[in-house]
Structure 1
Amino acid sequence: MDWFRALIGPDEGADTAQLCVRAVLIFFLGVLYIRIAGRRTFSHSSPLDIIVALIVGSNLSRVMTGKADVWPSITATLVLVVLHRLFALLTLRSGFLARIMKADPVVLIRDGAVDRSAARRHGVGQMDLLESARIEQVERLEDVKLATLENSGKISVVPRRRAS
């Protein structure tokens, strides 16, 4: 563990390179934690966006209050922002990386039949499904052609067409 301590530096007084290593480590841990928490935890942002917002805000607040050295903290924050931009661009080119960072949509209802296993796995309850259906003016889940848990954490609903 001596090599790890040398890599990230002491609790106080880490140099710029050590703070940059910490920023990269925190970035990947943050993405992992968001993935573990599930996409509905932060339903309007991607894990990448959430991690960057949290860490950048935290870093800048520490600099503002004098709890951290200015230049090393700003440099580490810049590394994080550049890493975010790089991963955002890479997810456009790599389907594999996009699936890891953004996840695939999950079908919750198809032709009125609820996939209870998928709903349970993603923490979506009956009330969540009914609410999403009502937003689309659908009264009963049996009248849903397709309901999908999207990457954003929202549930999109396509109603069945009724015979006129």
Structure 2
Amino acid sequence: MDASVFFQSWSGVLRVVVVGVLAYASLIVVLRLTGKRTLSKLNAFDLIVTVALGSTLSSILVSESVALVEGVVALGLLVLLQFAVTWTTVRWPTLRDVVTADPSLLLSDGAPCRRTLRRERVSESEVLQAIRDKGGQALQDAEAVILQSDGSMAVILKGG
């Protein structure tokens, strides 16, 4: 095995440290300027942007072919696009329907909504797990289970 798998040069290590600190600081500044919504997990679109930001930061750190300025511009572009999409979806409900999914009722009064479960690709055991996470023991303990637009399950227990 070639030793370069473990270590190539001190200049590479130094580049990662310097560029990493500067890219991280730039990301913090960009995120502070754009507000809390940028890293929210309100829907699948928000999650995708968060993952893309992490992937971009990773590329800046480890890829010598990506210059710091190019990487910071890429981070800024992702955040700007996120801001533009969320700004427009707040103002135009039609666009919101394109970007975000509506919540889906998975269980009503203890009875599974089988057609919705199938459409959303959720099993009864996953619904039961969500109910148990909230303190219930069985499907019948829940008044409703709703699959939220961010993929989480909201559980409303009976008598709660």
- Shorter-chain TM range is 0.5 to 0.7
- Which residue of structure 2 lines up, in the alignment, with residue 24 of structure 1? none
Structure 2, gaps ≥5 residues long: 1-40
Quote the residue 1:59 is aligned against: 56
1:45 offset after TM fit, Å?
5.5
Kindly tell me: are residues 154 and 58 of structure 1, through their superposed partners in 2, closer, same or farther at Cα, counting changes over 3 Å? closer
CA–CA separation in structure 2 for the residues paired with 1:120 and 1:80: 34
CA deviation digits over 1:7-28, x for unaligned, max 9? xxxxxxxxxxxxxxxxxxxxxx
Structure 1 counterpart of 2:108: 110
RMSD of the alignment, in Å? 2.3
Cα distance in 1 between the residues matched to 2:130 and 2:56: 37
5+ residue gaps, structure 1: 1-43
Aligned 1:1-164 pairs, distance under 5 A: 46-65=43-62, 66-161=64-159
Which residue number in structure 1 is paired with residue 25 of structure 2? none
Cα separation, 2, equivalents of 1:141 and 1:63: 47
TM-score, normalised with respect to structure 2:
0.62
Q: Separation in 2 of the partners of 1:84 and 1:74? A: 15
Q: How many residues align?
A: 119
Q: Supply the distance in 2 between the matched residues of 1:95 and 1:83 (Cα, whole angstroms).
A: 18
**What amino acid sits opposite 2:142 in the alignment?**
V
- What secondary structure does 2:66 align onto? coil
CA distance change for structure 1 residues 127 and 61 in 2, over 3 Å: closer, same or farther?
same
Cα offsets for 1:110-140 (capped at 9, x unmatched): 1222111111221211111111222233222
* Structure ranking higher on relative contact order (CA contacts 8 Å, 6+ apart): 1
CA pair 130-51 structure 1, distance change in 2 beyond 3 A: closer
Q: Output the CA distance in 1 between the equivalents of 2:129 and 2:95.
A: 32
Q: What is the percent sequence identity of the aligned residues?
A: 27
- Could you list the per-position Cα deviations for residues 27-86 of structure 1 after superposition, in whole angstroms to 9, with x for gaps in the alignment? xxxxxxxxxxxxxxxxx5633332222323333333333122343443233222101111
> Counterpart of 2:150 in structure 1: which amino acid?
S
Aligned-partner Cα distance in 2 for 1:53–1:135: 26
Distance in structure 2 (CA, Å) of the matches to 1:82 and 1:60: 16
Q: Is the 8 A contact 2:43 2:101 kept in 1?
A: no
